[in-house]
Amino acid sequence: MVGYNLWKIGKYVDNHRCETEGLMTGHANLDTNLIASLFLNKIRENPKLLVVDVRTQVHEKFGHQVTYKKARLRRQRAFELVYGDFKKSFSELPKYFAAFQHFNHGIAVEWKYVESTSSLEVKTFKFVFWAFKTCIDGFQTCRPVISVDGTHMYGKYDIKSLIAVGIDGNDNILPLAFAIVDRESKEAWKWFFRNLSAHVIKDREDICVISDRAKGILASLSELWRYQEPRSFHRFYLRLRATFNLDFQTRTQ
């Protein structure tokens, strides 16, 4: 400036570099997005990063003790920044399975949607089934025994995963088919068994299906002619715990 020994900066453009060191408890900038941004690489390396690890590292870096709930929300936010949210993940399923089919020739994929009654013609995901061709072909030389079971999938939605496996001549487990369903209902299991028969079992006879006594499995198999004796057989498995085995051995000695 003419006549003065002072300079005034009119405009300066550069990356935003706010210091994060030494933030005190309750600092306004210590928000969910800031904390989540610090864990992006860790989430990429380990999607199962524990909440307790988030709390520990936040305390070590900022000297700020966050609650378990806040740490969980910040970890979830970091997960969403890397992998997307749950709603987006479901919307990406058709594209994901299209890539599956493109790179895995012969893979069997079946869908079931709920048609919307509105004029928008929206389809809501309900079930999806898939079986890889290598597994389908491999079953033809496996023992005629198929074990089926369902399990919970952890996340925002209470959905289930169904799986069928076989056993080869060397007692190795061969995964045969998978499905994601809304719940382990008779409808879901019946749909799964029909696709299992059409794509995996095909014309094989004397198949033995082993399962637990889940109501959905029992009800669905009782209504499917393909799984009735003498064409197929249904048996139950028993889970013997180590304590029972130890006690039984003790009493028989």
Answer whether CATH 3.40.50 is correct for domain 90-236: no
Alpha-carbon distance values, 249 to 34, 165, 237, 252 (Å): 58, 31, 21, 5
pLDDT for residue 28 is more than 60? no
How many CB atoms lie under 10 A from the CB of residue 223?
A: 11
Give the side-chain half-sphere CA count within 13 A for 105.
0
Q: What is the CA radius of gyration of the chain?
A: 27
Counting Cβ atoms within 10 Å, is residue 39 exposed (0-12), middle (13-18) or buried (19+)?
buried
Q: pTM to 2 decimals?
A: 0.69
The residue ranges of every structural domain in the chain are: 32-83, 90-236
Nearest 10 degrees: CA dihedral of 156, 157, 159, 165? -30
Please state the rounded mean pLDDT for residues 2-21: 63
Provide the angle, in degrees to the nearest 10, between the axes of the packed helices 186-196 and 215-222: 60
pLDDT in tens, 39-83: 888 888 888 888 888 888 877 877 777 788 878 888 888 888 887
Contact 27, 34 (CB under 8 A): no
pLDDT in tens, 168-217: 888 899 999 999 998 899 999 999 999 999 999 999 999 999 999 999 99
